[in-house]
Chains A and B, each alone.
Chain A
């Protein structure tokens, strides 16, 4: 079990599955649960196949440093985006993600289209939201080779979100999505920074793996400190 990876994986997956569930729920009201869930299952199947293919292809005979560099850069691409969005939302520069609005938009889309168009919306929604989960699962697994436990973390999150969603039968609007994205963004940028530099320069981190904790604290506290600065900067621009 790769415990250091479990929390970021679980939280990343939970946030993405909440968004996927909202789309699947909206579509289910038009084409029924069976068809909507079959679209979600097809999306998840595509992601599982993608994970297996990636794992098989990238685990074979590639230079560890090259893999670590690619993983690090991908995590940076993903993490800085999440952290920046979370800061912008906390600073009030960007609207908080609204599951109710997402639900209404999807309902409006599917009510205009036919059965297959609605099915495709649920399939594409699950696939695209799950793509970020796939990215993080692959990144952590290539490093630790803990494919099964990392896959389980994503599946536990999926189960938790779908059970909660089916129980309330409504979009999961009470999930503190921005706070989760803030924490996960900081953790993923930390892993990306650590692995990219290790791939480029070798064992340069003075505290070894403990530097991950230091980096996570740096990005969390630094990110929080940026909120008023970013808010103030935007006021200055608009004034």
Chain B
């Protein structure tokens, strides 16, 4: 079961990284700047990828 869950969601840092990407998109959308999210979300995604690659 543990292997099943890990395959689906990844480890804690993976989940935290994706939560950050979604928070950036949801935050900017909630603040009324969805057009900024078009640029900020991919940038956050690449930042999270870089962080995960070093872990």
B-binding residues in A (CB < 8 A):
73-74, 76-78, 80-81, 83-85, 87-88, 91, 93, 124, 128, 131-132, 135, 189, 193, 196-197, 200-202, 204-206, 211, 215, 218-219, 222-223, 226, 229-230, 233-234
A219 touching B34, Cβ below 8 Å = no
Main secondary structure of the interface of A (DSSP, over half): helix
B13-55 contact mask (Cβ, 8 Å, vs A): 1 or 0: 0110110011001100100001101100110011011101111
B49 touching A223, Cβ below 8 Å = yes
Report how far A206 CA is from B9 CA in the complex, Å. Answer: 30
B38 touching A189, Cβ below 8 Å = no
A-binding residues in B (CB < 8 A):
3-4, 7-10, 14-15, 17-18, 21-22, 25-26, 29, 34-35, 37-38, 41-42, 45-46, 48-50, 52-55
- Known: A84-B49, A84-B52. Contact between A131 and B34, CB under 8 A? no
Q: In the complex, which residues of chain A have a beta carbon less than 8 angstroms from the beta carbon of B55?
A: 84
